[in-house]
Amino acid sequence: MIGLQIALCLCVVAICTLFTWYEGSGIITDSFEWNYSTPFSNMLHGEITQANELVIWDYFVYAAKFSPTYFIIMLMAGLYLLSLFGYMLSKKRKMFHLYLWGLSGVLALLSMLFFGADTRGGKSFFLTFLLSGMACVISGWFVKNKLTIQSWFVKT
């Protein structure tokens, strides 16, 4: 069952990667953003003067800033994959809640990187990381207290 979930997540990541790449290709015609949305090209080539100097990774930066929908779906599928791998690695349920709480800490730190962002993508990433971190905290609590919660509903 976990193998099927991993396969579906990988398909979602692959499809969303292609869509994000397509949406990010708008950087080619938006020369005004070349100074602000092309960190990889600027590292490799310095100042960008022509569209053929753009690096493919800059397409993803541009898409994340201005059309973040597919990028966020790809990110959520990746987080679900991380959760599945964490579940598989921690065979004992006693360890899985700690993994989820650690992941929530990482997500909280990532959300702080986008705090106060002024682009649509930055605001979306802030909310996505923050809400995902909160979901990991709540999920970790449910995993840790599974037996307690079951006793609320099952009379023995």
Same structural domain for residues 110 and 153?
A: yes
> How high is the mean pLDDT of the chain?
89
Same structural domain for residues 44 and 109?
A: no
Same structural domain for residues 50 and 108?
A: no
pLDDT tens per residue across span 1-34: 888 999 999 999 999 999 999 999 999 999 898 8
In angstroms, the CA 117 to CA 135 distance is: 22
Q: Give me the domain span that covers residue 136.
A: 91-156
Of residues 40 and 154, which shows the higher confidence score? 40
Band the pLDDT of 37: cuts 50, 70, 90. confident
Instruction: Report the range out of 31-35, 37-41, 134-138 with the highest average pLDDT.
Output: 134-138
* Residue 56 pLDDT: 92
* Residue 57 pLDDT: 93
Domain final residue, candidates 89, 115, 139: 89
In angstroms, the CA 145 to CA 109 distance is: 26
Q: Specify burial of residue 150 (Cβ count, 10 A radius: 0-12, 13-18, 19+).
A: exposed
**Whose CA is closest to 126, among 65, 81, 39?**
65
Q: Is the pLDDT of residue 156 over 60?
A: no
Which H or E run includes 40?
helix 39-45
Q: CB–CB of 136/76 below 8 Å?
A: no
Q: What is the DSSP string of 84-134?
A: HHHHHH--SHHHHHHHHHHHHHHHHHHHHHTTT--SHHHHHHHHHHHHHHH
Q: Is the pLDDT of residue 151 over 80?
A: no
Q: Number of helices (H) and strands (E), helices first, in the chain?
A: 7, 0
Averaged pLDDT, 27-49: 89
Same structural domain for residues 80 and 138?
A: no
What is the largest distance, in Å, between two alpha-carbon atoms of the chain?
74
* Residue 100 pLDDT: 92
Same structural domain for residues 82 and 13?
A: yes
Q: Is 29 helix (H, G, I), strand (E, B) or coil?
A: coil
Domain final residue, candidates 41, 66, 89: 89
Q: Is the pLDDT of residue 80 over 90?
A: yes
Same structural domain for residues 145 and 84?
A: no
